[in-house]
Amino acid sequence: MEKELTTLDAPVATTTAESKAISPVNSSTSDTGALKKQRWIFGLGGILLLSVLLGVSWWQSPDFRTYVEDVPPTFYYFLVAGFIFAMIDGAIGMSYGITSTTFSLSMGVPPASASTAVHISEILSCGIAGWMHQRMGNVNKKLFKILILPGIAGAVIGAYLLSSLEHYAMYTKPVVSLYTLILGTIILLRAIRAQRKKHVTKKIKKIGLLGFGGGFIDAIGGGGWGSIVLSSLIAGGRHPRFSLGTVKATRFFIAMLSSLTFVTVLSHVHWDAVLGLVIGSAIASPIAARVSNKISAKTIMVAVAVIVILVSMKSIYSFLVKII
């Protein structure tokens, strides 16, 4: 009797084990469905917010209304560029600001206007990304509070300084190109050293100073908040996931207040660059999320770094030829 009971009980145990093995698959499937619904909601919300912003700009800005009525060809160049740069950013998690700024400078846009276009185009995407990281619990509130105020102060000061020097764009452009050259080199080195692991036990200090410097340089160079602040936090021993979530969350406020400063101080805004980057990056955002896992991040990083370095060197060379 004991043997018969044992034999009868075995299938029950097997069935229980099988149900336990199947249940995680079902839960993961439901989680995937929930994530897809969230993406649709975020996408529709982003389109609605963008429509509201365009409507307000239409009624409040005569320059914007005139621009829409007579769209220049450069708008389409920036539209395609914004799409490509957002796809690259979605694949490797960085370089949108630096690639957009480099392209804007090569198209003859002054440094302040180039930085304005980049920061305005980042407001929507950074807001959505920061909110999602907050919902997933990836934002370190203490680190957020330490970074946010110095970062905003540095961004506003940098934006005001660059806008005040707009009439000296001939001299500020090679300086910004030198900055993009340095960042391009950093991206290239990061791609080469991607497989190397560094063990750091001591956490970085003076985070407020890091935030101020990152915000200031980001406003002047049109990008670099993630490259400078995030890489420094991780290299200094901070947890990568919480560092990424916190930096993304603070990035929204940096981009928004930098944009407000630029628009307030500048006498003229290149709406072709602004709208091209905004619409192009908005279209690319949902596509980049799907494609990012199918492309080699290291290959893209090397390609981006080489392009940025070459374009930056060309800009610096052109400046030196003029003054010599």
Indicate the range of 118-132, 253-267, 286-300 predicted with least confidence. Answer: 286-300
In terms of residues, how long is the chain? Answer: 324
Distance CA 259, CA 156 (A): 9
R_g of the chain computed on alpha carbons = 24
Contact 151, 250 (CB under 8 A): yes
Position 4 scores a pLDDT of: 44
Tell me 61's DSSP state.
-
Asked whether 174 and 316 are in contact (CB, 8 A), the reply is: yes
The average pLDDT across 188-213 equals: 71
pLDDT in tens, 249-291: 898 899 999 999 988 888 777 888 888 888 888 777 667 656 6
- 46-61 confidence digits (pLDDT tens): 667 767 777 777 776 7
Q: State residue 68 phi and psi, 5-degree precision.
A: -65, -35
pLDDT classification of 13: cutoffs 50, 70, 90: very low
Q: Please give the distance of CA 277 from its chain centroid, rounded to a whole number.
A: 12
Q: Which helix (H) or strand (E) holds 135?
A: helix 111-135
Q: What are the boundaries of each domain within the chain?
A: 1-60, 72-323
Q: Is 224 helix (H, G, I), strand (E, B) or coil?
A: coil
Give pLDDT, residue 7: 43
User: Would you place residue 168 in the very low, low, confident or very high pLDDT band (cuts 50, 70, 90)?
Assistant: confident
Any idea of the CA torsion for 59, 120, 258, 160, to the nearest 10 degrees?
-70
Residue-averaged pLDDT of the chain:
76
CA distance 79 to 280: 5
